Amino acid sequence: MACASAGPCFSQKQNMLNEPSNLAAIAAIAAPLFAVLLFALHRRAAAVHRSRQLARVRGFTLIELVIVIAIVALLVTVALPSYRDHVRKSRRAEAQAYLMSVAGRQAQFLVDTRGYAATLATINIPQPASVQASYTVTLNAVAGPPPTFTLTATPTTGTDQVYEKCGTLTINQAGAKTAALSSCW
């Protein structure tokens, strides 16, 4: 193969990067360069380490502290109301589940005794602690004819549940569920 006089002559056999057998030659060239680079980095790291040892230890500046406090205040302002809404929703869901279980037990009680239980104690379903702390649950049963009942869960005054958008939850013997908003059940 003849080379042109205008430039260097590279054939596929002469190009070291295209031949896997020439990896040793590439490594032989790159190793000293790599060693020089490592030596320079080591010297630079040692110089930085010495200068840090000599420098005074400093704390945070007032500006840095103010910026951090502002960021934390912003996060709290955004996150806290969302968290409270989530907690209210979960308490409402627990109250709804409790009302549904009591209504189911009332249906079974009607089949067994031809009437609804007059008190929650007769039904014998323990009220969950979070429901008891957040809601006042009442049962209003009418002997009939026809027998009826209405279960009501009213948010307890003085708790955060008072701010829940759904307010008082009710369910009756027909399974009709009511709340302040139709989307609450």
Please tell me the predicted confidence (pLDDT) of residue 45: 73
Q: How many whole angstroms separate alpha carbon 55 and alpha carbon 147?
A: 86
Q: What are the boundaries of each domain within the chain? A: 62-184
Token pair 């704390």 in the structure block, residue: 59
On the CB side of 127, CA atoms within 13 Å amount to: 19
What is the spatial order of strands in the sheet that 148-155 belongs to? 135-142, 148-155, 169-172, 177-178
Q: How far apart are the first and last CA of the chain?
A: 86
Could you tell me which CATH class the domain 62-184 is placed in? alpha beta
Please tell me the predicted confidence (pLDDT) of residue 69: 96
Query: Per residue of the chain (185 residues), what is the pLDDT tens digit?
Result: 455 555 555 444 444 444 555 555 566 666 676 666 667 767 777 777 666 666 555 678 899 999 999 999 999 999 999 999 999 999 999 999 999 999 999 999 999 999 999 999 999 899 999 999 999 999 999 987 899 999 999 999 999 999 999 999 999 999 999 999 988 88
Q: How many whole angstroms separate alpha carbon 23 and alpha carbon 31?
A: 12
